[in-house]
Structure 1
Amino acid sequence: MIGYLEGTILQFESDGILLLVGSVGYEVLLNPQMVEKLMSREATDKMISLYIYYHQTERQPKPVLIGFESPDDKEFFQTFITVDAIGPMKAVKAMTRPSSDIARAIETKDVSFLTGLSGVGQRTAEKIIATLHGKVKKFMLVTKDENQDKNQDKKEMKTESFAFEMLDIGRQVEDVLVEQLGHSPASAKRMVKEALEANDKISTPEELFDEIFGKN
């Protein structure tokens, strides 16, 4: 089983590359945003490394190699294809945005973002959220370049985690303001936004309510 390849790009295909490893050329499928990324770097004849998902079934007897830039991207892909009706071939075409962005959309239940992915309609987007919500938070953190300072990585991870937590707190409070206290959605969103801007030390829904009603 092939799990990793390192070589040079002989040529770009419409949906991937022909990768020369030693004296053997491997056809490797890549998601659209990765193809664009490699083309913009003029990566032909330069050494690249790919983590490989090997796909072969009775319905797909010809082996297919799908390449990823990192183990995290490969793991997200393997999680993504657990959704009914999203097989490997459909998934690789759908990943027109970074896996971290797709994971964020799933965790925030952003249907409009998901329907913007290639081949994903309203029902499929809802099925993705129903299947994966709560399971892909760890992929929301953008993978940094290996040469970047590790302390900076930790800082970015902490900031990203905090931002997601505040988004969740804000949504909880907005729901209560609208459903229980009779405010309009626009008014509730404004109240939450103003309170968070006024007090950056808020860390719970209760503290957010105190800030809102102390000023309104």
Structure 2
Amino acid sequence: MIAKLTGVLDDIRQASLLVRVEGGLTYEVLAPAYTAGRLGASIGQTITLHTLYYLQSENQGSSFIPRLAGFLTADDKAFFQLLTTVKGIGNRKALRAMAIATSQIAAAIADRDAALLQSLPDVGRRTADTIIAELSGKVDAFLHSAAGSLPGAVVDTAASGSTAGETSGADQGGRSLARESVEVLVQLGENRLQALRWVEEALAAKDRPGDVQAILARVYKIKAGT
């Protein structure tokens, strides 16, 4: 089983990535639209993907095609696996549905926001309701991952020895700050999904705030459009 793949991102196709590893072998890796979008500026650079190998049924089960799906973080991969436990959602449908950040989808489930879920590809009203019914109470672990999806966490940096998608101590601190900030905003009456978006935007700034109070101050500037 291929659990993780590191190589040069050669190309991004409509629903897949071409990743060239040492020895000249190139893998076609299926990826959610959100993942492909995050990697748009990384062609020609070394990336690491958390991967999942599976067999895709074709011709009503008469044949099977091996597939490799790839995700930027272990959280994204785990959420994909959770999403495929929902009745009526297979691997292909789950990949298409993950068009926004995992934390945002998880927040929509936690907030029972069927309208947002319906805005995802291939998710209608009935499927949205089923997702909420089956996964409500199971997504808390994904609600604090906004900081882990910030720009700059994708590409390997040989100078630092870090690997894309792996969580450093600084990343863990950022996630903790993000989680605390979101909880404060929710307690103040803000929608959880919108709070996640604001906090992610605040933490993506070059002069990244270093504590909850500074994050909240930045969020309210963003909210006010200043």
TM over 0.5: yes
Give the distance between the partners of 1:17 and 1:155, measured in 2 at CA.
Answer: 32
Cα deviation for residue 159 of structure 1 reads 2.1
The TM-score normalised by the length of structure 2 is: 0.68
State the alpha-carbon separation in 2 of the partners of residues 122 and 76 from structure 1.
Answer: 20
Q: Distance in 1 between matches of 2:106 and 2:174?
A: 22
Match of 1:120 in 2: 123
| Change in 2 beyond 3 A, CA 1:165/1:87 | farther
Specify every segment of 5 or more residues in structure 2 that has no aligned partner in the other structure, as ranges: 154-166, 191-226
**TM-superposition CA deviations, 1:70-93 (whole Å, max 9, x none):** 101100111111001100111001
Unaligned runs of 5+ in 1: 169-216
Q: Which residue of 1 aligns with 2:18?
A: 18
Q: 1:116 to 1:149 in 2, by over 3 A?
A: closer
Moved more, 83-92 or 53-62: 53-62
Give the % identical residues: 33
Residue 161 of structure 1 deviates from its aligned partner by 3.3
- The letter for the 1-side match of 2:35 is M
Please give the alpha-carbon distance, in whole angstroms, between the structure 2 residues aligned to 1:137 and 1:150.
Answer: 16
Structure 1 residues 162, 137: closer, same or farther in 2, change over 3 A? farther
Q: Hey, which bits of structure 1, 4+ residues long, moved more than 4 A? A: 164-168
Q: Conserved in 1, the CA contact under 8 Å of 2:110 and 2:136?
A: yes
Instruction: From the superposition, tell whether residues 38 and 136 of structure 1 become closer, same or farther in structure 2 (CA, over 3 Å).
Output: same
Q: Paired residue for 2:180?
A: 158
Spell out, residue by residue over 1:54-84, the C-alpha distance to the aligned partner (whole angstroms, 9 max, x if none).
1115636211111000101100111111001
Residue 72 of structure 2, aligned match among 64, 69, 74: 69
Query: Taking CA–CA contacts closer than 8 Å with sequence separation of 6 or more, which of the two structures ends up with the larger relative contact order?
Result: 2
Partners of 2:115 and 2:186 lie apart in 1 by 18
Query: Is the Cα–Cα contact under 8 Å of residues 56 and 64 in structure 2 kept in the other structure?
Result: yes
Q: Distance in 2 between matches of 1:29 and 1:68?
A: 9
Greater radius of gyration (CA): 1
Q: Does structure 1 residue 110 correspond to structure 2 residue 113?
A: yes
Alignment length (residue pairs):
166
Which residue in 2 is equivalent to 1:2? 2
Between Structure 1 and Structure 2, the one with more helix by share is 1
Q: 1:85 to 1:167 in 2, by over 3 A?
A: farther
